[in-house]
Chain A
Amino acid sequence: EVQLVESGGGLVQPGGSLRLSCAASGFSFASHWMTWIRQAPGKGLEWVANIQQDGVKAHYGDSVRGRFTISRDNTRDSVFLQMNSLRADDTAVYYCAKHTFYMFDSWGQGTLVSVSS
């Protein structure tokens, strides 16, 4: 059974940093792109970033490019999201998702990031 477990969320002040982690199990992690998707309170889903199987290629949404960095460790079956220069509008539940041929076929339960002073 595929499992994705996010961690690292919490309350942070504007301008601060946070690192999210997502531990994967139940599938061949190193064979799949991985993606972070977020959902602001009461709002819709927003694609944030994805990363290729070997970690060489990564792509970012316009709203986070230059502030967020996605990375992965295939020896630990984990994907990460380093978030810097956080703003109030980054407040959201952050989901990691397994990315298979342009679909997100498995999702974690999400971790809440709150940016507030």
Chain B
Amino acid sequence: QSALTQPPSASGSPGQSVTISCTGTSSDVGGYNYVSWYQQHPGKAPKLMIYEVNKRPSGVPDRFSGSKSGNTASLTVSGLQSEDEADYYCSSNAGDNSVFGGGTKLTVL
């Protein structure tokens, strides 16, 4: 159960777009269309932002989008806003278990 690989940090200016990658294997990201993304602000519980690779729960702005190619999933945040500054985690189904990425700290410059 190795963690998925995410870049430790990403950044962008307000209004710009930023993409965060999440790399796994054929046993997790590549094998299932069950990748989800979570946003976590300091001291708060994580919040679901994307599920099943590219679906948004009700209430999540359409500035957030997801995609997948092979063993790598991606989260794109368009039109960056200051409140988007947070940690982002990907997760994938891995058979009976689930696995998370190491997290990416998104900074809005």
Binding site for B on A (CB under 8 A): 35, 37, 44-47, 50, 59, 61-62, 95, 101-110
Contacts and interface: CB of A to CB of B under 8 A. Distances in A.
B32 A62 contact: no
B103 to A, nearest CB: 4
Contacts of B99: 47
A4 B97 CA distance: 21
Contact of B89 (A45, A108, A110): A45
Given A46-B100, A50-B98, A101-B34, A62 B45 contact: no
A45 B51 CA distance: 17
B57 A105 contact: yes
Contacts of B101: 44
B100 A103 contact: no
A100 B57 CA distance: 12
Contact of A109 (B45, B89, B103): B45
6 contacts: A37-B100, A45-B46, A47-B98, A102-B93, A103-B51, A108-B45
